[in-house]
């Protein structure tokens, strides 16, 4: 489990009213954002505290959507949420293949800058400036046991080779071929319904319920699980 997820274990989106003293304390944090910030600031990796960055504002998200909506008339801010919603949109996919780079931890949109293509709009800014903009870098280890800082790595050729979850995954894959992967027949243990694999760390997680679940409900759950990525 990632360190950030460990921090999030203390966060609940629903809670009961606490004693006045704690209510006052939470009142001071006044938003989920402030609570998350204070949790993450208390975490550290190899003695270096985590930093947080300011999240996009509603206004910024709206502005981005305004641009995105020009791509394909079928896109919709309220209902386009997952890959399955866009996979049949021709214009969107044309743009996606032409100008976007999807990595595990980031997504990049960058014009090609080539005026002979009309998939992305021509450059509106300074061409010289545009040519200086490099691709967003993947995480690469530095020589101090930490990942390199953005400043040090920006502009270098990188790939996903050092990305932490993929590293774990390739280790796990070798183990999977032996006995760590649960066989379907071992998945039912009394009320243990199902196992799901976490897409981040590739470890199995058990889904269980307090009461015996009807076979029919389990079937429904199974088909639902096929449509989601669990992490």
Answer yes or no whether residue 198 interacts with Zn ion by CB under 5 A.
Answer: yes
Least distance to Zn ion, CB of residue 172, Å: 11
197 binds Zn ion, rule: CB under 5 A: no
Task: Give the other-Cβ count within 10 Å of 71's Cβ.
Answer: 19
The Cα–Cα gap between 62 and 201 comes to 33
Q: Shortest approach of Zn ion to residue 59 CB, angstroms?
A: 27
- Which of 69, 109, 196, 201 binds Zn ion (CB under 5 A)? It is 201
Q: Determine if 200 is a binding residue for Zn ion (CB under 5 A).
A: yes
* CA dist., res. 6 & res. 45, Å (int): 12
71 interacts with Zn ion by CB under 5 A:
no
Under the binding rule (CB under 5 A), the answer on residue 75 touching Zn ion is no
Q: How many residues bind Zn ion (CB under 5 A)?
A: 6
Neighbouring CB atoms inside 10 A of 64's CB total: 13
User: Given candidates 120, 148, 194, 195, which one binds Zn ion under the rule CB under 5 A?
Assistant: 120
Nearer to Zn ion, 201 or 221 (CB): 201
What DSSP string runs through 62-107? HHHHHHHHTT-TT--TTT--SHHHHTT-HHHHHHHHHHEEE-SS-E
Which residue has the CB atom at the shortest distance from Zn ion? 198
User: How much is the CA Rg of the chain, to the nearest whole Å?
Assistant: 23
- Residue number, 35 or 123, with CB nearest to Zn ion: 123
- 3-state DSSP call for residue 198? coil
Spatial neighbors of 190 by CB under 8 A, at least 6 apart, are none
d(CA 171, CA 67): 41
Q: Which stretch binds Zn ion (CB under 5 A): 68-76, 115-123, 141-149, 151-159?
A: 115-123
Rule CB under 5 A: say whether 117 interacts with Zn ion: yes
Verify binding: residue 148, Zn ion, rule CB under 5 A: no
Binding site for Zn ion (CB under 5 A): 112, 117, 120, 198, 200-201
């Amino acid at each position: 489990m990632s360190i950030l997820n460990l921090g999030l274990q203390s966060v609940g989106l629903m809670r009961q009213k606490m004693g006045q003293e704690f209510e006052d304390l939470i009142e001071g944090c006044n938003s989920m954002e402030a609570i998350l910030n204070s949790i993450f600031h208390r975490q550290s990796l190899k003695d270096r505290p985590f930093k947080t960055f300011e999240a996009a504002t509603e206004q910024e998200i709206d502005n981005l959507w305004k641009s995105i909506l020009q791509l394909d008339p079928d896109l919709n801010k309220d209902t386009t949420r997952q890959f399955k919603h866009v996979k049949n949109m021709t214009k969107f996919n044309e743009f996606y293949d032409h100008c976007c780079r999807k990595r595990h931890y980031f997504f990049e949109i960058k014009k090609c800058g080539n005026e002979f293509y009309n998939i992305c709009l021509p450059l509106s800014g300074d061409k010289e400036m545009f040519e200086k903009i490099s691709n967003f870098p993947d995480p690469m280890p530095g020589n101090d046991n930490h990942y390199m800082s953005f400043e040090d790595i920006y502009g270098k050729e990188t790939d996903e080779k050092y990305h932490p979850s993929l590293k774990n995954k390739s280790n796990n894959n070798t183990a999977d071929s032996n006995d760590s992967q649960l066989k379907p027949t071992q998945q039912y243990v009394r009320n243990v319904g199902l196992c799901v694999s976490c897409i981040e760390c590739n470890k199995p997680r058990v889904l269980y319920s307090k009461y015996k679940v009807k076979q029919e409900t389990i079937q429904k759950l199974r088909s639902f699980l096929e449509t989601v990525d669990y992490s």
